[in-house]
Structure 1
Amino acid sequence: MTRTALVGLILPFLAACGAGVSGPVGEACMASGRSSANSVLCGCIQRVANDTLSGSEQRRAAQFFGDPQRAQDFRTRDDSASEAAWLRYRGFADRAEAICR
């Protein structure tokens, strides 16, 4: 196989690795309008979300990017299920901050 053919086979796979951000948290990160938002950072945050949050928790966390007041309202709910979910979210946020700097 020629070098050109090999590059032609490998290039699409490499492009797919950084070709965008998928997942609710990563997409919300990209759409947030923050100057630091880019596909590398938002992709990293999405990978941490995949490792630490369920699908429904990811969808809720994505809402926090667009509406920080929603996060505050959720944090101050006074029921055990919300408190447990907030602790999982904080764990995700702390881990993402440590890993994705």
Structure 2
Amino acid sequence: MKKILSAAVTGLFLVGPQSAFAGPIENACLRSDRAQATRAMCRCIDSVAQTALTRSEQRRAASFFSDPDRAQQVRMSKSARDNEFWDRYRAFGSTAEQYCAGR
């Protein structure tokens, strides 16, 4: 058992922390077809997301990269839950824009 765990931990270091611990926002950003989606930019946005959004909200926001219409549906929703999420998502977006500009 120790050998398996040791091999797994060693494998994480060989792969690198950036890919082993990338959050849902970073992964979605890197997979997007946006020219500005550099590793540094995506990592920065993900780090802001980790402080501004819950893990569940991060996964929800990550889905917007592949389905922008979903973001519009949430924005236009009359649901209190969606409106509360959208407020946090907009705050996250503003913070990420300020913090990650020029990366």
- TM-score scaled by length of structure 1: 0.79
Provide the aligned length of Structure 1 versus Structure 2.
87
For residues 19-75 of structure 1, the C-alpha deviation after alignment (integer angstroms, 9 at most, x for no partner) is: 447010000000011111111000000000000000110000000111111100011
Distance in structure 2 (CA, Å) of the matches to 1:66 and 1:91: 21
What is the aligned partner in structure 2 of residue 67 from structure 1? Answer: 67
Q: Runs of 4+ in structure 1 displaced over 6 angstroms?
A: none
RMSD over aligned Cα, in angstroms? Answer: 1.7
2:96 aligns to what? 96
Unaligned runs of 5+ in 2: 1-12
Choose 1 or 2 for highest CA Rg.
1
Distance (whole Å) between structure 1 residues aligned to residue 97 and residue 61 of structure 2: 14
CA deviation after TM superposition for structure 1 residue 88, in Å: 0.3
In structure 1, stretches of 5+ residues that fail to align are 1-12
In structure 1, what is the Cα distance between the partners aligned to 2:33 and 2:81?
31
**1:36 equivalenced with 2:43 (yes/no):** no
